[in-house]
């Protein structure tokens, strides 16, 4: 099955993902390693995977606090992590 890929940017770096990839998965695939920084500055990544814990929040198209695990990547989307 050949699928069209979506072109997104993560922390200003161009990246491709297959359709229906979540933002949380895209950030992990990209390998930048983390989504947000905790209050004390520690690196965090997605924990619950289902929109409860909010550890995967990132800035999506300029809007902060997007829940990465509940957002699907769209062509042209820009994602900023707190790394």
Q: Within 13 Å, how many C-alpha atoms sit on residue 29's CB side?
A: 17
Asked if residues 21 and 77 have their Cβ atoms less than 8 Å apart, the reply is no
Long-range contacts of 62-67 (CB under 8 A, 24+ apart): 66/23
**Residue list 24-63, contact with another protein (CB under 8 A):** 24-26, 28-29, 33-34, 38-40, 42-55, 57, 63
Nearer to another protein, 12 or 63 (CB): 63
Q: Which residues in this chain contact another protein in the complex, by CB under 8 A?
A: 3, 17-22, 24-26, 28-29, 33-34, 38-40, 42-55, 57, 63, 65, 69-72
């Amino acid at each position: 099955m050949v699928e069209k890929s979506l072109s997104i940017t993560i922390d200003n770096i161009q990246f491709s993902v297959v359709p229906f990839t979540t933002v949380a998965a895209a950030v992990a695939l990209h390998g930048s390693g983390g989504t947000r920084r905790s209050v004390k500055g520690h690196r965090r990544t997605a924990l619950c995977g289902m929109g409860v814990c909010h550890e995967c929040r990132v800035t999506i198209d300029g809007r902060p606090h997007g829940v990465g695990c509940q957002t699907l990547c769209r062509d042209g989307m820009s994602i900023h992590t707190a790394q």
